[in-house]
Structure 1
Amino acid sequence: MGIAELLRDVDGSGAFGVWLGRLDGVPVFEHLAERTHYSASTMKLPVAMAMMRKVEAGELSLDQPVTVHNDFASAAGGRFGVDPAEDEAPATWTKLGEQVPLGWLATEMITRSSNLATDLVLEQVGIDAAHAVLAEYGPGDSAIRRGIDDGPGVRAGISNLMSPAGLAGVLVAVGNQQGASGNYLRDLLAGNQWNGEIPALLPAGIRVEHKNGWDTRIRHDGGIVRPPDADPFVLVVCTTSDLADADAQKLIANIALEAWNHRRDLGGVR
């Protein structure tokens, strides 16, 4: 079953977008790839990229201590805190009031998708710097405008947006980045502990450098897949739908399997 057929099977259930291509950034299959969705945790990759830019510039250090707290400036004015019930990564919460290295927070942000760690890193990096990375590499209307769980921002209509093409753009940039920062970012993505989408149906042991995101009606994943017998490829699938969450995950996994089965002739994907 081709990707187009998989998408036809869910037609009418919501909005679905796909970007598939190699690390040269040229797509071989697109479906509504420029359409934005609420980004959920996919925005954490541009945050990490912006952090590493500041590390390279000497403005930040991965070893610098950051006090763990849960009180942040809202993009709409006022203050907000992360809802612990909505954060599926508990480790950062056990450090409240303590100092931890910035690099530790970045690892929790990407590998466990910690919302609290994300807002702590974003506070150090700055929303404008994170958005600038996404705007540089992600075409269209993808945007980072606020932190995770910024309730006043949500009520003011301030949202983080991501398109499949936008996430693909930052993944292509990471995949081609030379030096220690590129290695660091790729290793963070490869350490992702939430693997129910792109990696789920691929052979065991295949390196997948990916960042996913989920929320009510939202399930996304985007990553670089590195087959041992073919060139790496980039796949992003964004879904905003009425599908059961497990079915949205299964859809992404099946699209990834179809791409994998065509890895030696990616242009043959239909």
Structure 2
Amino acid sequence: MKFFTAIFFILACIICNAQTSTEKLQHQIDSIFKRTQGDFAIAFKDLSTENHSIFINHHEDFHAASTMKTPVMIEVFKQASEEKFSLQDSLLIKNEFKSIVDGSSYSMELGRDSGEHLYVQIGQKRSIEDLVTDMIIYSSNLATNIVIELVDAKNVNKTMRNLGALNINVLRGVEDMKAYEAGLSNSTTAYDLMLIFEALANGNVVNPEADKKMLEILRQQKHNDLIPHLLPEDLNIANKTGWITGVHHDSALIELPDGTKYILVLLSKNMKDMDAGTKMLTEVSKMIYDHVK
């Protein structure tokens, strides 16, 4: 009996120390955020224990930038699972879209899109799966608008609500300037992005097979200058970034070689010095990794 009491006491001390360590780290990150010009949010959750989580400004709204492409991908896989289309079906690559404000036409600017290779294929066809992959790993805006036109932004929001993500709002495609000027922009919170990445990790978004495929796409990410930037190369990271003027986000599921998994979402806005703000966020990511490890 004394042996089991001793074991219980040791385990309780370990848990207590871990909680204290997490609380100290939260205070440290909060202090760093306050010292850095701009506005920042973090949602961190260690999936191996409910006691390890950090939330700062996690319910605050941020311009979603390209983080909204993860919800769009989820809607594509959901509709494919409902047999509305096959991921192998082809779509025409075009560069003409309708504003949600008045239905007027607009086109994407090549120089503002990181998925430049797709523009030489205008007039040709690509599979839906290929377009979704380009949307995620290259953050192709052209692919995004083609895919959103297929699934409808309203359906994306409906699916997000069903997943418990109440404050992700995907209203439109990219570069709809009339909508932007009317204040109609896509938005998210750190908490909601954490929820959908956690659901993906647990196979609870569409189905285990579809969720596994989506994570495989996210792990091919080409933009790794935020959460993964200072982390070891042997980690398995599925992430989606987003950036516009004054904004740099990243949202990720990180898996360590020992199987430990955690979700980390870092959001920012109103940054005047993008380099300084991004550098700070990469250091916060490293702090979280060191804490988990």
Given the two structures, how large is their TM-score scaled by the length of structure 2? 0.85
Q: How does 1:174-253 map to 2 (within 5 A)?
A: 174-177=200-203, 178-253=207-282
1:4–1:220 Cα change, 3 Å: farther
CA contact (8 A) 2:39 2:271 kept: no
Q: Which ranges of 4 or more aligned residues in structure 1 deviate by more than 4 Å?
A: 24-27
Counterpart-to-counterpart distance in 2, 1:25 and 1:143: 29
User: Quick check: 1:256 aligned with 2:280?
Assistant: no
Classify the secondary structure of the residue corresponding to 2:126. Answer: strand
**2:31 corresponding residue in structure 1:** 8
Report deviation, 1:242.
Answer: 2.3
Residue type of the alignment partner of 2:181 = R
Counterpart-to-counterpart distance in 1, 2:92 and 2:232: 40
Aligned match of 2:94 in 69, 93, 99? 69
**2:71 corresponding residue in structure 1:** 46
Is the deviation greater in 41-50 or in 223-232? 223-232
Classify the secondary structure of the residue corresponding to 2:171. Answer: coil
Counterpart-to-counterpart distance in 1, 2:121 and 2:193: 31
Q: Which has the higher helix share?
A: 2
Q: How does 1:87-236 map to 2 (within 5 A)?
A: 87-137=113-163, 139-177=165-203, 178-236=207-265
Report deviation, 1:23.
Answer: 3.6
% identical aligned pairs: 23
Q: How does 1:15-30 map to 2 (within 5 A)?
A: 15-23=39-47, 28-30=53-55
> Structure 2: 5+ residue runs without aligned partners?
1-23
Report deviation, 1:140.
Answer: 4.3
1:257–1:230 Cα change, 3 Å: farther
Counterpart-to-counterpart distance in 1, 2:90 and 2:81: 17
User: Quick check: 1:84 aligned with 2:110?
Assistant: yes
Counterpart-to-counterpart distance in 2, 1:83 and 1:133: 30
Report deviation, 1:18.
Answer: 0.3
Counterpart-to-counterpart distance in 1, 2:212 and 2:32: 38
Report deviation, 1:22.
Answer: 2.8
Select the structure with the greater relative contact order (CA < 8 A; seq sep ≥ 6).
Answer: 1
Structure with greater Cα Rg: 2
Report deviation, 1:124.
Answer: 0.8
Residue type of the alignment partner of 1:200 = H
CA contact (8 A) 2:234 2:257 kept: no
Equivalenced residues, count = 264
Report deviation, 1:205.
Answer: 2.4
Query: 1:40-94 deviations in whole A, cap 9, x for unaligned?
Result: 0000000000000011011021111111111112211222222222101212111
1:156–1:111 Cα change, 3 Å: same
Residue type of the alignment partner of 2:59 = E
Counterpart-to-counterpart distance in 2, 1:55 and 1:182: 12
Given the two structures, how large is their TM-score scaled by the length of structure 1? 0.92
